[in-house]
Amino acid sequence: MNRNFKMVLQYEGTRYNGWQKQGNTSDTIQGKLEQILERMAGEPVEVQGSGRTDAGVHAAGQTANFRISEEFFRSRGLFRQEEAYLKSYLNRYLPDDIGVLSVEEVPERFHSRLSAERKTYCYQIETGEKQDVFQRRLSYHLGRSLDTEVMRLAAERLCGTHDFRSFCGNRKMKKSTVRTLYSVDICQKPGSSLVTLSFTGNGFLQNMVRILTGTLIEIGLGERDWRTVDDILRAKDRQAAGFTAPAEGLCLVQVIYEEMK
């Protein structure tokens, strides 16, 4: 009998080739986790993530689940210590830029991706002349000021349930590209040159947040009128939207599940 565990983890994605394990590289988040769990359990362990973050993308609250046999815990006398043991073991052997925040046992039916109700991504843009030394790996250095007011006007039109095909990086996508954006918040604190965009939705297409961000940046720079957002959505054509913002500014902040309410 296998038991199902959910973990919440954080990572700085700078040196990784994304979440999903690949045959030509060992530098993926999923690959690192599975390697350590397999060494612990003595057999292959599959880790399912809530989403496949791209190369260079970070996470403050990625969620994943995996299964470990009951016999493993019984043989080690880990009665009621399973969650603490798993968290400690993972953090002991994971590199410094990956950390497990929590581990908890969940029902067999729980799946980190299929059970997710909504996700929040954050994108940071440095508009100042010089990149903040401590934020340089976590934000995109645009180096130009943005009109956040017109960006907010455009963001309002993006919220709701739409076909976001124009904002999908996979131009051969055959599955539905309809998603719901619950909110797009744009914040720049007084005196700060850092602009933060937060996107919360029920799911995101490949590169969707980065393309949304690139489009909003073009609007904030005055290169595109905010009223054209409706036209971009209607076009259902990737070429109608803006550029794909670089990976380094993007972070998966939180994944919400029904039982977490």
Cβ density class 221-260: b for 16+ within 10 Å, e for less: beebebebbeebbeeeebebbbebbbbbbbbbbbbbbeee
List residues bridging with 181 in a β-sheet.
160, 201
Q: Which residues, other chains included, contact 17 with Cβ-Cβ below 8 Å and sequence gap of 6+? A: 25, 27, 28, 55
Integer Cα distance of 209 and 196 in angstroms: 13
Q: Around 188, how many Cα atoms within 13 Å sit in the side-chain half-sphere?
A: 17
Name the pairing type of β-strands 98-106 and 160-163: unpaired
User: Which of 54, 185, 225, 237 does the annotation list as catalytic?
Assistant: 54
Residue 163 annotated in active site:
no
Q: Which long-range contacts (CB under 8 A, 24 or more apart) does 172-178 make?
A: 173/205, 173/206, 177/205, 177/236
Beta strands in 95-193, from DSSP E residues, in sequence order: 98-106, 116-126, 140-141, 160-163, 178-187
Burial class (CB within 10 angstroms; exposed 0-12, middle 13-18, buried 19+) of 183:
middle
Q: Do residues 7 and 82 make contact, with C-beta atoms less than 8 angstroms apart? A: no
Integer Cα distance of 59 and 66 in angstroms: 18
Residues acting as catalytic residues: 54
